[in-house]
Amino acid sequence: MAALKSGSWAFWRDVRVVRIAVQLLFLVAVALGLYWLFGNYVQNTKRLSFGFDFLGSAAGFTVSEGLAHERGDPNWKLFLVGVLNSLRVILIGIVLASLLGLIAGVARISHNWLVSRIATVYIETIRNTPLLVQLFFWYSAVYLKLPLVRESITLPGHIFLNNRGLILPEPYFTQGAEVWRWFLLAGIFIGLVAYVARRVHLARRERPGFPFLWGFGAFVGLAVLGYWLAPQRPIAWEVAELKGFNFEGGLHLSPEFAAVLTGLVVYTAAFIAEIVRAGILAVSKGQKEAALALGLTGLQTLQLVVLPQALRVIVPPVTSQYLNLAKNSSLAAAIAYPDLFNVAITIVNKTGREVEMILIIMGSYLSLSLLTSLFMNWYNRRIRLVER
């Protein structure tokens, strides 16, 4: 026994020693590598200063759209404009891509031959071509080829489409909104009460139902009533008018924004459609038939039996699609939409602070990814509770 005590064999054969030695060696190698890289950097750029003070100095440039800003604004303000532009595309894009993806996914498994064929062609074409090519296509082959301002395409509802973008009527609140506001507040309150009451009622009877519809219905009812009773229409629309060489008033969406949004939505929706299809197919047919045999209505079957199980399959991969959409929004730089990445690169070119800006860019995208996955994980846990 004594021979097996430590010290009886060479120390480099002791697993504990080897483990620690390997890790130490690895750490030293990584540290040396980083030291070497940083040493080269200092030597090459002849710069020792590292800091973020440049963010406070005047940027000296402006970007074409986004939060109001002017020429003398500091770098951080311009960067903020870029971040908000990115967020705008990402949030609207996620909502629209989910809708389009849902429609295309359901259409692909439709019993209607023509509809399912159209959906298949859409999905297979879009998924197999690069997003960047699609973005360029939407921008330079679709939006920039629209007619000139004077020959704008006029759509019903005072919507104008031309090669400077899309012009929509802009909603604004009138005096009547002050009355309406109270109806909305009451609607939220009564809606909440109705939701809770219905939920408690259903839980006591142990019956399935749609408490959310009750609450939402109460809210919508009150909102509509208030809109009608208000002395003046609470919301009015400012319609754009052609004056001189351009439209005045209304909501302007630039062709860059429209191209980025269309590209991201159409591309991501094709991937979401496949996930939706797989999710619905994953729910066995027997489940649906059993639910119908138990006397549930079609809507109840969908809401209480099929969707909860399908969503469990759908949500995790859709989360990564949302993350992809967020990351892919950086391709907006290619068609000069002033997003986070584009503005950051301009700041790099103006200030020469590559390392600092790269850290900021990566930090921004990392926190964006982290926030999205936190939210989707929370949602994922919630629908799991519904199911079990």
Query: Is-contact 326 305, C-beta < 8 A?
Result: no
Question: Of the ranges 159-167, 212-220, 294-302, 362-370, which one interacts with another protein (CB under 8 A)?
Answer: 362-370
What character string, x for contact with another protein (CB under 8 A) and - otherwise, covers 22-41? Answer: xx--xx--x------xx-xx
Which range, of 43-51, 184-192, 205-213, 374-382, touches another protein by CB under 8 A?
43-51
Taking the least distance from each CB to another protein, the nearer of 123 and 167 is: 123
Please report whether residue 387 would count as binding another protein according to CB under 8 A: no
By C-beta, is 41 or 375 nearer to another protein? Answer: 41
Pair 170, 247: CB distance under 8 Å = no
d(CA 60, CA 83): 18
Among 179, 239, 345, 383, binds another protein (CB under 8 A): 345
Q: How far is the CB of 316 from another protein (least distance, A)?
A: 13
Site for another protein in 70-89 (CB under 8 A): none
Rg (CA), the chain: 29
Residue closer to another protein by CB (options 110, 246) is 110
Q: How far apart are CA 17 and CA 24, in angstroms?
A: 11
Picking from 128, 124, 387, the residue whose alpha carbon sits closest to that of residue 273 is 124
What is the per-residue burial (b if ≥16 Cβ within 10 Å, else e) of 146-174? beebeebeeeeeebbbbebbbbbbeeeee
Cβ burial, residue 135 (10 Å; 0-12/13-18/19+): buried
Does residue 350 touch another protein according to CB under 8 A? Answer: no
Question: Which residues, other chains included, contact 142 with Cβ-Cβ below 8 Å and sequence gap of 6+?
Answer: 259, 262
Among 354, 375, 382, 386, the residue binding another protein under the rule CB under 8 A is 354
Pick between residue 41 and residue 228 the one whose CB is nearest to another protein. 41
C-beta closer to another protein: residue 73 or 356 = 356
| Residues 89-118: x where in contact with another protein by CB under 8 A, - otherwise, as a string | ---------------------xxxxxx--x
Residue 262 to residue 135: CA distance in whole angstroms: 8
CA angle 84, 136, 370 (to 5 degrees): 35
Rounded CA separation 137/318 (Å)? 26
Cα–Cα dist 355/385, whole Å: 45
Q: Among residues 75 and 86, whose Cβ is nearest to another protein?
A: 86
Instruction: State yes or no: residue 281 binds another protein (CB under 8 A).
Output: no
Q: Which amino acid is at 224?
A: V
Find out whether 58 and 72 touch, Cβ atoms under 8 Å: yes
Ranges within 243-272 binding another protein (CB under 8 A): none
Q: Which of 327, 381, 382, 384 binds another protein (CB under 8 A)?
A: 327
Q: Is 141 in the site for another protein (CB under 8 A)?
A: yes
Give first-to-last CA distance, the chain, whole Å: 55
Among 55, 97, 131, 270, binds another protein (CB under 8 A): 131
Q: Is the CB of 112 or the CB of 154 nearer to another protein?
A: 112
Total number of residues that touch another protein (CB under 8 A): 53
Which residue ranges make up the site for another protein (CB under 8 A)? 19, 22-23, 26-27, 30, 37-38, 40-41, 43-45, 110-115, 118, 124-125, 128-134, 136-137, 140-141, 144-145, 327-328, 330-331, 333-334, 341, 345, 348, 354-355, 358, 361-362, 365-366, 369-370
